Structure 1
Amino acid sequence: MTRVLAVANQKGGVAKTTTVASLGAAMAEKGRRVLLVDLDPQGSLTFSLGHDPDTLAVSVHEVLLGDVEPDTALLTTAEGMTLLPANIDLAGAEAMLLMRAGREYALKRALAKIGAGFDVVVVDCPPSLGVLTLNGLTAANDVIVPLQCETLAHRGVGQFLRTVNDVQQITNADLVLLGALPTLYDSRTTHSRDVIFDVADRYQLPVLAPPIPRTVRFAEASASGSSVLAGRKNKGANAYRELADALLRHWKSGRALPTYAPEV
Structure 2
Amino acid sequence: MGKIIAIANQKGGVGKTTTAVNLAASLGVLEKKVLLIDADPQANASSGLGINVDDVEMGTYQLLEHTASAKDLIVSTSSPNLDIIPAHIDLVAIEIELVDMEQREYMLRKALAPIKEDYDYIIIDCAPSLGLLTLNALSASDSVLIPIQCEYFALEGLGKLLNTIKSVQKIHNTQLDIEGLLLTMYDSRLRLSNQVVEEVNQHFEGLTFKTIIQRNVRLSEAPSYGESIINYDAASKGSENYLSLANELIQKNS
The farther-off stretch of 173-182 and 1-10 is: 173-182
The aligned counterpart of 2:96 is 95
SS at match of 1:78: coil
Match status 1:4 vs 2:38: no
> What is the correspondence of 1:1-264 to structure 2 with a 5 Å cutoff?
1-80=1-80, 81-202=82-203, 206-232=207-233, 233-252=235-254
SS at match of 2:165: helix
Structure 2 CA distance, aligned partners of 1:37 and 1:167? 20
Question: Which deviations, in whole Å up to 9, do the C-alpha atoms of 1:202-259 show, x marking residues without a partner?
Answer: 566722121100011112110111101113311111111111111111111xxxxxxx
In structure 2, relative to structure 1, the CA distance for the partners of 1:205 and 1:251 (3 Å cut) is: closer
Letter in 2 for 1:8: A
Structure 2 CA distance, aligned partners of 1:207 and 1:188? 21
Letter in 1 for 2:249: L
TM-score (normalised: structure 1): 0.92
In structure 2, relative to structure 1, the CA distance for the partners of 1:11 and 1:205 (3 Å cut) is: farther
SS at match of 2:253: helix
Structure 1 CA distance, aligned partners of 2:43 and 2:71? 18
Tell me, yes or no, if the aligned pair for 1:196 and 1:207 is still in contact at 8 Å: no
Tell me, yes or no, if the aligned pair for 1:158 and 1:203 is still in contact at 8 Å: no
Letter in 2 for 1:47: S
Structure 2 CA distance, aligned partners of 1:226 and 1:239? 16
SS at match of 2:136: helix
The aligned counterpart of 1:255 is none
What is the alpha-carbon root mean square deviation over aligned residues?
1.3
Letter in 2 for 1:28: G
The farther-off stretch of 239-248 and 34-43 is: 239-248
SS at match of 1:210: strand
| Unaligned ranges ≥5, structure 1 | 253-264
Give percent identity, aligned residues only. 37
Structure 2 CA distance, aligned partners of 1:104 and 1:146? 23
Structure 1 CA distance, aligned partners of 2:208 and 2:194? 11
Q: CA deviation at 1:94?
A: 1.5
The aligned counterpart of 1:258 is none
The aligned counterpart of 1:257 is none
| Unaligned ranges ≥5, structure 2 | none
Structure 1 CA distance, aligned partners of 2:159 and 2:88? 29
Q: CA deviation at 1:2?
A: 0.2
Question: Which deviations, in whole Å up to 9, do the C-alpha atoms of 1:92-136 show, x marking residues without a partner?
Answer: 111111211211111111111222211110110000000111111
Structure 1 CA distance, aligned partners of 2:104 and 2:219? 34
Structure 2 CA distance, aligned partners of 1:149 and 1:51? 30
SS at match of 1:164: helix
